[in-house]
Amino acid sequence: MVADLEAPRPVVSHEVIHAGKIFDLVGDVVDLGDTQVLREYVAHPGAVAVIALDDADRVLLLSQYRHPVRSELWEPPAGLRDVPDEELVVAAARELAEEADLVAGSWWRLVDFFTTPGGSDERIRVFLARDLRPVADADRHTRTDEEAGMVPVWVALDDAVDAALSGRLHSPTAVTGVLAAAAARSRGWSTLEPVTA
């Protein structure tokens, strides 16, 4: 069976090249055995994302401007792991409520991935959320910055898969999450690991 193997190499030195608001640019001198190399990368807190599916197997996607790629991308609700010691599924539930005004009654771990393993240590866990209902009016989050302009749309899962495979979706959380959800559905949801929010 194929599986990635966590296999850290000794770090001879570590330098913060730039300390940023959300993530840092760092440089590590890594001992590979035969040689030592300098590797610069983005040190990132990580993130969570939510594939929210309604009873008709439609997935919620949000349009959000992403400045580094100068594009408005269709993405699932998602956010940084920026609350210390917060469980991942709790972070996902918080993001679903904040970005989509939704609460889910059922949660599963869908997929984990590194966004850019050659240049960042960012890791994202994607959850599947079902049994959706609106948040209470008193619990609605006030969205700011790029989040203020997000437009929600419900897309049939099969149409979202077509959009991912045809190159119309580019967000890694959308592409990975949508394809993972479709793969899980094709296996009767038997591969999913339930979690409690």
**Catalytic residue list:** 147
- Please say whether the beta carbons of 59 and 160 come within 8 A: yes
Residue 184's beta-bridge partner residues? Answer: none
